[in-house]
Amino acid sequence: MTEPELDSQPPAPPPAEAGFPLKSLLLAVGGMLLLTGAVFSGLLYYATRPQATLMTVVGLEWERTIQLEQRQPAPPGETGDRWVAVRELTETDATPNPRWPELPPGPDYRAGKRAERYVARVRSAKSPKVYEHPVSAEVFSRLRVGAPCQVVIRSGIVEDVAPAP
């Protein structure tokens, strides 16, 4: 190469100025936010997942209600009798044998709508806290005080109670 050819080359660019590394900072902050979000999501999932555990039945309670209907004479111009709800009869107890309330004797009374409610109280051997949960009549009939039961808990709230397998 000759000397004039060397001068015709463009000059080298100046070295990059050292300034604030904004791109690196944004990448680091974004990475930390993603990591924090992943950890929080994992903890939230772990805290809210249902957990099945064995507990002990410490109490049972039932309540049965019958709407009492009374025969009323028909209003003028109508034939036959009509039945009118006059009050509710309720029977409740903490025994494992539910029963319906007794109706007053006589042909002027009859049973109307019926309602029933069953509750199981359970406790873990690890904690003194007692959980209360409504159960179906079928499950209630299979539970016994002092017997183990299978309980599903999510976020500290009982979702299901069933007799232990």
SS (H, E, C) 133-165: EEECHHHHHHCCCCCEEEEEEECCEEEEEEECC
In this prediction, residues 121-133 reach a mean pLDDT of 92
- pTM, full prediction: 0.67
In this prediction, residues 126-135 reach a mean pLDDT of 92
Q: Give Cβ neighbours of residue 141 (< 8 Å, ≥ 6 apart).
A: 96
CA distance 28 to 81: 84
Residue with tokens 């309670």: 61
In this prediction, residues 23-51 reach a mean pLDDT of 83
What residue ranges do the domains of the chain occupy?
51-163
Query: What pLDDT sits at residue 17?
Result: 62
